[in-house]
């Protein structure tokens, strides 16, 4: 259903990685959200004024704020699609994240206002007199229609959010889901008010709705903030990138220090180190690295930068000492590993230079790991010195 709806307005809808297509998706969601929310807001405000139900009126005001958040998202997509310039060489893609954050803030403000109004109504024991009749049936019909409309909008946001991988759209999805549930609660309490005329049912409904709206606002804000603060990229994407590089050419010995910098949807910079045979032809290896970079950019729609690390692969002594060091590291913690191993050998001693990769959840400090490894290498052979750096994975 949602795919058919999208196809009506976006001909090239399958090219979701294209910034222009993303902007079209943003426009479609923005205008759809503004239209639906303004329609619902007007009808609920009228119904709330007629019935005197603060929960219905507040739900209408909430829809009015939703129209505002749709407008924010619309501008967010428009600004994020601006081309790079001198002041912003990596583009303006992060505007979309700010739009998602703004939506979350609006959600929480609405929740706070509804909560204070509802608590005030409970304290004053203010009741709402609801009687069966044309006004009630029209108001109930409006609420039922609102739930269905918001359900459609939530589904559309979820479909598009996953299609274009947008945190701003995911925030709008959470907002629509909260609206579905809150409106359903308002409808139930409107019906209950007929039978419990002396209880502030309307106020209690407002409290329940406001708390749920606040929860979705906090959750949405956390998701957007995680991305803006540098959330680790999806593990599946990292594995796909690593597998692509490792299997690109037999001369790729290994990879490490993979970093994915996010400058907004469709604007990612990939940086990694690729180990290559030190005995190989430097020009041929450099050409291979260039080909890997171009392949990554084409396949993953990013800017790829690779640092080439030459490692000795044909020396039996180097390979033997590398395995010795790996065993030392594994004895400390099985989850540890080493990379970028090389040896500088002189007349009196040899330096073994390598990095130790350790997980974030490790209880041993990096400095302690470096000290243990250095001591164990010296115990193995007094003529060996470990120049080791323990570090956490970058992704």
Regarding predicted confidence, which is higher, 142 or 15? Answer: 142
Tell me which of 127-136, 173-182, 276-285, 385-394 is least confident.
Answer: 127-136
State which of 312, 343, 374 marks the end of a domain.
312
How do residues 44-70 score in pLDDT, each as one tens digit? 787 777 766 666 776 777 777 677 767
- Has residue 325 got a pLDDT over 90? yes
The percent of residues above 90 in pLDDT, for the chain, comes to 24
Q: Domain span at residue 155?
A: 2-229
Regarding predicted confidence, which is higher, 266 or 148? Answer: 148
How do residues 75-96 score in pLDDT, each as one tens digit? 666 666 677 777 777 767 677 6
Instruction: Indicate whether 210 and 240 sit together in one domain.
Output: no
What is the model's pTM? Answer: 0.57
Number of domains making up the chain: 3
Which CATH number characterizes residue 340's domain?
3.30.70.1350
Instruction: Indicate whether 329 and 196 sit together in one domain.
Output: no
Instruction: Indicate whether 222 and 260 sit together in one domain.
Output: no
Instruction: Indicate whether 89 and 122 sit together in one domain.
Output: yes
Instruction: Indicate whether 66 and 168 sit together in one domain.
Output: yes
Give the chain as a 3 state SS string.
CHHHHHHHHCCCCCCCCCHHHHHHHHHHHHHHHHHHHHHHHHHHHHHHHHHCCHHHHHHHHHHHHHHHHHHHHHHHHHHHCCCCCCCCCCCCCCHHHHHHHHHHHHHHHHHHHHHHHHHHHHHCCCCCCCCCCHHHHHHHHHHHHHHHHHHHHHHHHHHHHHHHCCHHHHHHHHHHHHHHHHHHHHHHHHHHHHHCCCCCHHHHHHHHHHHHHHHHHHHHHHHHHHHHHCCCCCHHHHHHHHHHHHCCCCCCCEEEEEEEEECCCCCEEEEEEEEEECCCCHHHHHHHHHHHHHHHHHHHCEEEEEEEEEECCCCHHHHHHHHHHHHHHHHHCCCCEEEEEEEEECCCCEEEEEEEECCCCCCCCHHHHHHHHHHHHHHHCCCEEEEEEEECCCC
Instruction: Indicate whether 103 and 128 sit together in one domain.
Output: yes
Quick one: pLDDT band at residue 73, thresholds 50, 70, 90?
low
Instruction: Indicate whether 48 and 184 sit together in one domain.
Output: yes
pLDDT at 257: 84
Regarding predicted confidence, which is higher, 245 or 181? Answer: 245
Average pLDDT, the chain: 81
How do residues 303-319 score in pLDDT, each as one tens digit? 899 999 888 888 899 99
Instruction: Indicate whether 185 and 153 sit together in one domain.
Output: yes
Regarding predicted confidence, which is higher, 365 or 179? Answer: 365
């Amino acid at each position: 259903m949602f795919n058919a709806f999208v196809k009506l307005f976006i001909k090239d809808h399958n090219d979701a990685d294209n910034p222009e297509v993303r902007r079209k998706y943003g426009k479609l969601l923005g205008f759809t959200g503004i239209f639906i929310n303004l329609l619902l807001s007007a009808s609920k405000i009228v119904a709330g004024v007629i019935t005197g139900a603060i929960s219905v009126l507040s739900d209408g005001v909430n829809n009015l704020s939703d129209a505002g958040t749709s407008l924010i998202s619309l501008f967010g997509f428009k600004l994020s699609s601006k081309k790079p310039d001198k002041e912003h060489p990596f583009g303006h893609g992060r505007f979309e994240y700010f739009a998602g954050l703004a939506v979350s803030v609006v959600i929480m403000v609405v929740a706070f206002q509804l909560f204070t109004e509802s608590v005030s109504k409970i304290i004053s024991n203010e009741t709402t007199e609801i009687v069966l009749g044309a006004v009630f049936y029209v108001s109930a019909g409006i609420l039922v229609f609102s739930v269905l409309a918001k359900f459609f909008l939530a589904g559309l946001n979820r479909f598009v959010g996953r299609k274009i991988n947008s945190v701003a759209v995911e925030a709008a999805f959470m907002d629509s889901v909260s609206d579905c549930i809150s409106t359903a609660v308002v409808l139930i309490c409107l019906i209950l008010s007929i039978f419990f005329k002396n209880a502030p049912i309307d106020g209690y409904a407002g409290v329940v709705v406001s708390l749920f709206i606040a929860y979705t606002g906090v959750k949405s804000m956390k998701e957007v903030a995680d991305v803006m603060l540098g959330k680790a990229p999806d593990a599946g994407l990292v594995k796909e990138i690593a597998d692509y590089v490792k299997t690109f050419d037999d001369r790729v010995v290994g990879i490490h220090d993979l970093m994915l910098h996010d400058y907004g949807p469709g604007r990612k910079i990939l940086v990694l180190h690729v180990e290559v045979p030190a005995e190989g032809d430097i020009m041929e290896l450099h050409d291979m690295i260039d080909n890997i970079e171009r392949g990554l950019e084409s396949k993953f729609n990013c800017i790829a930068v690779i640092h080439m690390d030459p490692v000795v692969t044909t020396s039996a002594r180097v390979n033997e000492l590398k395995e010795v060091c790996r065993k030392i590291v594994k004895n400390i913690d099985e989850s540890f590993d080493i990379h970028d191993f090389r040896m500088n050998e002189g007349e009196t001693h040899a330096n073994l230079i390598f990095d130790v990769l350790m997980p974030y959840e490790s209880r041993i400090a990096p400095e302690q790991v470096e000290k243990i490894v250095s001591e164990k290498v010296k115990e193995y052979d007094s003529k060996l010195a470990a120049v080791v750096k323990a570090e956490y994975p970058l992704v």
